[in-house]
């Protein structure tokens, strides 16, 4: 079975997050690594291929690739970005981390700041959080009435359709970490001076809303997985499986896009090179 | 002698570009590699250190680093970015390539689009071309009257002073390629299907204006090299010297900034981790 087929959320389906195992070793998936060492070697190889294909995408300059990352805290959004995209030329690969919207952003519709950050032709754009927060954290914390967030699934599908129709290939990843593994990581992080500076009491408090978050994620991925912008549920309890799986789907996506170097615009023979 | 001291343009001086040798092997510079292999190993080591310091800069979240790259075509702006910054986490490292200004950008002052692209706190920003085009190509092609571009040196110095006063550390690099080496590279590029798609007849035509470009660069680096935003003239005829030299100055700059991981905001003991 192909990796993408195993992890993709079928369009129009009634997907349950609980049907995806956060600790899935991906056994039986063609090419899946079986050890951490194998996974790291495969990840490095993928990064090299991605870097090469990104050069072609940049040269071709007709399409873009948008990667959307969503997850509970400590599931590894930052880690996926660092491991899968360090090694890719930052000229042509931009990360946008969506934080709490500013006052100005709140004065606009929720897709305003998102549209602004969509990658231009030739580039890879990575969203660390995204418009999906507007149907996840906004729903869990009841920041807008239910009828407002419920209307957003269709709006998001239409928006992503617009992007796809204009040359933006979209792949969305939910990094699926288990409740127990998240707790372990947060406690480890709290004890690590290299990492605990970014923690606050809210990180643990949010855990009390775990079921509400899972319900929100479930609806988001089920209602907004489409052929042109599929969601993938990535097993995230093992970091090496998680990183390899994302890099593999990104690689396969770029390979299927098969960007081509353009032909020279002029006949070289007509160029006066005497200067 | 330190690398930075050897290559920096002294503030207030009457620097001549011709005094910098594009083929300078940097012999006598402390730590300078003497072979291509040595240079590549030193570059890799620098990229690792830069990546680590960038994480600290991101965590510290109080200052930014702005790298400005200017050069004649084929001197290696793209190559420097690829070699020195692939390997750095793209979350926290953004490249802005300034192309011909749009109609909207032309309706604003020339520093408007520049200011917008200045890196925020915690990030490294790389300008592939910059506001210096407004005293270089604009001058050479007489796109504005002389009194307009002449007034810009002071404006640029004041603008960069503003940025520096607000936590942006600035380092500027002129990649100094010789006329003969540029011609060789353009001819090589023309013959290479992996690269010739980006060429046009203008690339050779611009060579006829070489002396005007050198005069424009000379004034720009002499008038706008300041203690808070120094210009460095990088010998660019050998790619391995060029890449190492830029990476070394970026590394030394980040080391001198010495970004610190913040302390945790809360006493871990007060956090309720029972959730």
Other Cβ atoms less than 10 A from the Cβ of B260: the count is 12
Is the predicted pLDDT of residue B264 greater than 90, yes or no?
no
Q: What is the mean pLDDT of residues A144-169?
A: 98
Question: Is A86–B90 a contact, with Cβ atoms under 8 angstroms apart?
Answer: yes
CA dist., res. A234 & res. A244, Å (int): 10
Distance from CA of A265 to the nearest CA of B (A): 7
Average confidence (pLDDT) over A3-17: 90
**How close is the nearest chain B Cα to the Cα of A78, in Å?**
8
Distances (CA, A) of B36 to A100, A162, A227, B126, B241: 47, 49, 48, 25, 8
Nearest CA in chain A to B44: A87
pLDDT of B92 reads: 95
Helix (H, G, I), strand (E, B) or coil at A11: coil
**pLDDT at residue A126 tops 70:** yes
Element (H, E) at B106: helix B103-106
Question: Is B171 within 8 Å of B234 (Cβ atoms)?
Answer: no
Which candidate in B264, B266, B267, B274 is best for mutational testing of the A interface (most A CBs within 10 A)?
B264
The pLDDT of residue B273 is 75
Mean per-residue pLDDT over chain B, rounded = 94
pLDDT digits 0-9 by tens, B1-46: 789 999 999 998 788 999 999 999 998 898 899 999 999 999 999 9
Tell how many helices (H) and how many strands (E) occur in chain A.
11, 5
Closest to A247 in 3D by CA, of A75, A47, A78? A47
Q: Is the pLDDT of residue A23 over 80?
A: yes
Arch. (CATH architecture) of A3-257 = 3-Layer(aba) Sandwich (3.40)
Query: Which band of pLDDT confidence, cut at 50, 70 and 90, is reported for residue B275?
Result: low
Measured between CB atoms, which of A90, A268, A270 is closest to B90? A90
Q: Distances in Å between the alpha carbon of A16 and those of A134, A216, B154?
A: 20, 11, 62
| Of the partner residues B81, B190, B271, the one whose CB lies closest to the CB of residue A268 | B190
Its ipTM equals: 0.89
Interface test with B, best of A91, A184, A185 (most B CBs within 10 A): A91
Residue B83 host element (H or E): helix B77-85
In this structure, what is the dihedral angle of CA atoms A176, A9, A121, B77, given to the nearest 10 degrees?
30
Mean pLDDT along residues A221-233:
97
Rounded to 5 degrees, what are φ and ψ at B79?
-65, -40
* Chain B residues within 8 A of A208 when measuring between CB atoms: 275
Q: DSSP assignment, residue B34?
A: S
* Residues in CB range of B5: below 8 A, 6 or more apart: none
Residue closest to A199 by CA, chosen among B258, B56, B273: B273
**How confident is the model at residue B203, as a pLDDT?**
86
Cβ pair A175, A234 in contact under 8 A: yes
pLDDT at position B200: 82
The pLDDT assigned to A275 comes to 66
Q: What is the dihedral angle through the alpha carbons of A157, A161, A162, A163, rounded to the nearest 10 degrees?
A: 100
Q: Mean pLDDT across chain A, nearest whole number?
A: 94
User: Which one-letter DSSP state was computed for residue A103?
Assistant: H
Residues of A in contact with B262 (CB under 8 A): 197
| C-alpha pair distances (Å), A46 with each of A25, A52, A254, B71, B197 | 19, 10, 11, 33, 26
- For residue B246, what pLDDT is reported? 98
Task: Say if CB A54 and CB B56 are below 8 A apart.
Answer: no
Whether residues B126 and A95 touch (CB distance < 8 A) is answered with no
In A, minimum Cα distance to B203 occurs at: A273
**Torsion region of A76: left, alpha or beta (phi above 0 gives left; psi -120 to 50 gives alpha):** left
Q: What sign results for the dihedral spanned by CA atoms A22, A27, A32, A34?
A: positive
Would you tell me how many other CB atoms lie within 10 Å of the CB of residue B265? Answer: 11
| Alpha-helical segments (H) within chain A | 3-7, 36-60, 77-85, 103-106, 112-117, 137-140, 146-165, 179-190, 201-205, 210-223, 239-257
Residue A165 pLDDT more than 70? yes
C-alpha distances out from residue B101 to A193, B70, B106, Å: 45, 16, 6
Q: How near does any CA of chain B get to the CA of A241, in Å? A: 20
Strand, helix or coil at B233? strand
**CB pairs A-B closer than 8 Å:** 136
Mean pLDDT of B160-171: 98
Q: Lowest mean pLDDT: which of A49-58, A74-83, B22-31, B149-158? A: B22-31
Cα–Cα distance for residue pair A15/A214, rounded to 1 Å: 12
Domain boundaries, chain A: 3-257
The verdict on a CB contact (< 8 Å) between A87 and B87 is: yes
Check pLDDT > 80 for residue B267: no
Contacts of A197 in chain B (CB under 8 A): 59, 261-265
Dihedral over alpha carbons B202, B203, B209, B211 (to 10 degrees): 170
Nearest to A271 among B204, B264, B275 (CB): B204
**Residue A211 CA: distances (Å) to CA of A14, A81, A195, A216, B197:** 17, 27, 26, 9, 53
Contact across the interface for A59 and B198, Cβ inside 8 Å: yes
* Residue in B closest to A262 by C-alpha: B197
A9-13, A105-109, A271-275, B89-93: the lowest-pLDDT one? A271-275
Taking 70 as the threshold, does the pLDDT of residue A148 lie above it?
yes
Contacts of B198 in chain A (CB under 8 A): 59
Query: Residue A91: which of B128, B271, B274 has the nearest Cβ?
Result: B128
Using a CB-CB cut-off of 8 Å, the residues of chain B touching A207 are 275
Residues of chain A with C-beta less than 8 angstroms from the C-beta of B200:
265-266
CB contact under 8 A, B275 and A93: no
Using CB atoms, pick whichever of B81, B201, B208 lies closest to residue A271.
Answer: B201
């Amino acid at each position: 079975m192909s990796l993408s087929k195993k992890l993709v959320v079928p369009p129009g389906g009634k997907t349950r997050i609980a049907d995806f195992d956060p600790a899935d070793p991906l056994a039986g998936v063609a090419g899946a690594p079986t050890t951490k060492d194998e996974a790291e070697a495969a990840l490095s190889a993928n990064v090299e291929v991605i870097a090469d294909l990104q050069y072609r995408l940049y040269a071709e300059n007709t399409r873009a690739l948008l990667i959307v990352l969503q997850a509970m805290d400590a599931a590894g959004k930052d880690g996926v970005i660092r491991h899968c995209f360090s090694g890719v030329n930052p000229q042509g690969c931009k990360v946008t981390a969506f934080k709490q919207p500013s006052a100005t952003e709140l004065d606009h519709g929720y897709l305003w700041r998102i549209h602004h950050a969509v990658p231009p032709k030739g580039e890879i754009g990575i969203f660390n959080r995204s418009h999906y927060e507007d149907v996840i954290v906004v729903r869990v914390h009841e920041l807008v009435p239910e009828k407002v967030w419920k209307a957003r699934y269709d709006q998001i599908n239409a928006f992503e359709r617009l992007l796809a129709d204009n040359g933006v290939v979209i792949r969305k990843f939910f990094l699926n970490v288990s409740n127990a593994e998240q707790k372990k990581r947060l406690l480890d992080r709290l004890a690590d001076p290299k990492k605990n500076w970014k923690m606050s009491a809210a990180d643990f408090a949010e855990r009390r809303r775990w079921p509400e978050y899972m319900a929100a994620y479930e609806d988001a991925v089920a209602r907004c997985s489409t052929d042109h912008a599929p969601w993938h549920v990535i097993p995230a309890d093992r970091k090496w499986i998680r990183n390899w799986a994302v890099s593999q789907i990104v690689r396969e996506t770029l390979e299927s896009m098969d960007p081509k170097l353009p032909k020279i615009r002029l006949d070289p023979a007509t160029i006066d090179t005497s200067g």
